[in-house]
Amino acid sequence: MALQIPAIEDELGKIAPDFSLPGIDGKTYGLSDVAGKNGTIVVFICNHCPYVKASIPRLIEDVRALAGEGIGVVAISSNDAASFPEDSFENQKVFAKTYGLPFPYLCDESQEVARAFGALCTPDYFGINKHGSVEYRGRLDDGKKEPPSPGARRELLDAMRLIAKTGKGPANQTPSVGCSIKWKDD
């Protein structure tokens, strides 16, 4: 079932939470390890979500365009792998290899990082300026489980370029749509 996150204007301008999470490459990453000199994208994804699978090639294309512009990127999986084995850490490695992810892919087993960010769905995009302030909470583009409409704006790409230039995100941001994060039973 698709989940569209509500507009979160009151979250914009807040300092992004730091983290220390294991990556599929055996390293541990914090926000400063993945931050670009002009901004950072933190995206919550998982391996099984059809919205993620449909959009990951476009995300990779945009990430490659932004890499030369000083934008860092990290993906984090926070799904409950005990209930959703396809989202296990080992399967994160398979997913990353299958799609050729050009950025770190981290595991948030405790789900504390997702909760700290207020992440709700996969994919869920956060654009952070060079000072650590969240300035974008929107979608990649207008595609969902299908390609975007012809001539669609590359919303995340445009937002990150604006953030790199001005430190602020666009005035109008359309929330992401995807699968809900699979939370552990409390």
In 3-state terms the chain splits into helix, strand, coil percentages (rounded to 5) of 30, 20, 45
**Residues above pLDDT 90, as percent of the chain:** 92
What pLDDT does 159 receive?
A: 98
Taking only the tens place, the pLDDT of each residue in 20-60 is 999 999 999 999 999 999 999 999 999 999 999 999 999 99
Total-model pTM:
0.94
CA 74 to chain CA centroid, Å, is: 7
Q: Which domains, and CATH codes, for the chain?
A: 2-180 (3.40.30.10)
